[in-house]
Amino acid sequence: MVETATQAGKKSPEGRMAGKVAVVTGGRGDLGSATARLLADHGATVASLDRAGTPAVGVHPRITEYDVDVTDESSVMETIRTLEAKHGSTDVLVNAAGIIGPAGASHTATVDDFNVIFDVNVKGVWLMTKHIVPGMIRQESGSIINFSSIHGLTGGRNVPLYHATKGAVRLLSKSDAAAYGAHGIRVNSIHPGSMNTRMSRRSAEQSDIGAEAYYKQLVGGNPLPRQGEPDEIAYGVLYLASDESRFTTGSELVIDGGYTAV
């Protein structure tokens, strides 16, 4: 009997990532750690990568922590060599590492500001892809999920360099989807809106209008007038990482409470 696409996609929830090896950068941040845990809960063997000195959120039997500087090619190469020696080729790469950088119009930023944010948000995504893709090509399969943002889709006054980096990630994802599709590799971007994270809470606490007014200003006009939770992003990544999305590449998954709809 020939298995149909529908039958092939019918997996038990516990098996959605069974047998897969996943690498998650920014794995000790709120969104990265939620993603790593969910992939592991669904059967993946997960390597959580983040900067040295960044504390891990918790312990999971299928998650191993690694220190890496995604802006340093030698650090990336050494880590991937270690991972491939231990687990074989990577099935799923989630590029979740990212920073916002200082607020202010373009003319107020420094060259150092520019270099730091582009190094982490763009160069880091490219380096991880550059060194993991060869293994995916060898096995003729793989899924890469790059964290962009709603600010990779829209403009804004406060953090133009951040917008520029996330727009670059969006188009790098599309270009890589076009380049690697013939090798069975899918590349998609995910675009979170305002999220309930430590970074967001710090911004609210430092706001000169008070936390309540800050959040009302931030998400009050959304069709769903609240912040998202990290696991709501993680479930989007789970879909793109799993075989359920095997005909999805070069796409943008926007999870923003409707921010970009109004």
Alpha-carbon torsion (253, 240, 171, 112), positive or negative: positive
Long-range Cβ contact pairs of 79-87 (< 8 A, separation 24 or more): 79/49, 80/131, 80/132, 83/21, 83/23, 83/47, 84/135, 87/21, 87/45, 87/47
Beta-bridge mates of residue 252 = 189
Active site includes 235?
no
Beta-bridge mates of residue 143 = 92, 186
| Tokens matching residue 197 | 């994270």
Q: Are 142 and 90 within 8 A, CB to CB?
A: yes
Q: Which of 66, 162, 215, 259 is catalytic?
A: 162
**33: nearest Cα among 59, 52, 13:** 59
**199: nearest Cα among 239, 243, 241, 230:** 230
**188: nearest Cα among 236, 131, 134, 122:** 236
What is the spatial distance between Cα 182 and Cα 184, in angstroms, rounded to a whole number? 6
User: Which residues are catalytic, by number?
Assistant: 162
